Amino acid sequence: MTNQKNILVTGATRGMGKEISKVLVGQGYHVILGARNIQDGQSLVEEIESKGFSATTVQLDVTDINSVQNAAREISSLDILINNAGIALETSSPSNLDVAQVKKEFDVNVFGVMNVTSAMLPLLKNSKRAKIINMSSIMCSLNSALDKNSIVYGASVAGYQSSKAALNMYSIQLAKELVKEESDITVDLVDPGMVATEFGGLEPKTAKKMGAKPVDEGIRRVIELVENDKENKNITFTNNEGVASW
């Protein structure tokens, strides 16, 4: 089965981005692997091709506007943008944050998404019922952070949480703008939960011992949103269990 939809995945060579890309090419989509290091992108293309599928790669550093604009020029058409690239660096208490590290988190998790989305919007607007899927986190939920019965209540990674909260607000405002323009583009936020990857500097085995879910479970909601053309509500924040708390 082949699917003519073109999908760009940022941060496609590691963790969830890599697994998302491999699953989608297996389902017949044309996946464009956004890779900060183009050699890593080429290696993944070769891995995918060795299994009988195909993909392309593009050099894409979400924090470098020139890289982003060059990538946009290389891509001829786009139906779905998956803003997956993200980092978590700073774990100090709120009063002891290393602001330089927090700025790096915002550069990728917020400004990087803005860079890529703005550059790719003209392509998406040429597609029928295009989608933007942004990887968020329940860790940024304001309601959960104030709920003593929530697992988020006791978590304190303020830099990462703040960046994802900012991403959520940006996504809301973008979705509202697109509605005003009567665009068919939908914007969705996904909470993958804690996933057993190297994200945040953890080894996957260590993350799994801490209760992280397998990668295939972490990406399940993203795959559902890609596959389900009938699911076109705007704007959603969901996870495998259903609606996530804002």
* DSSP assignment of 17-81: HHHHHHHHHHTT-EEEEEESSHHHHHHHHHHHHTTT---EEEE--TT-HHHHHHHHHH----SEE
- Domain residue spans in the chain? 6-86+111-135+170-243
The mean pLDDT value for 156-184 works out to: 97
Model pLDDT, residue 119 = 99
Q: Are strands 186-190 and 131-135 parallel, antiparallel or unpaired?
A: parallel
Question: Per CATH, which fold does 6-86+111-135+170-243 belong to?
Answer: Rossmann fold (3.40.50)
The mean pLDDT value for 48-71 works out to: 98
Q: What's the pTM? A: 0.94
Model pLDDT, residue 233 = 74
Model pLDDT, residue 96 = 96
Measured from the Cβ of residue 149, the count of other Cβ atoms closer than 10 Å reads 6
Tens of pLDDT along 93-121?
999 999 999 999 999 999 999 999 999 99
Catalytic residues: 160, 164
Q: Answer for the pair 22, 16: CB distance below 8 angstroms, yes or no.
A: no
Q: Are strands 186-190 and 80-83 parallel, antiparallel or unpaired?
A: unpaired
Q: Is the pLDDT at 186 greater than 60, yes or no?
A: yes
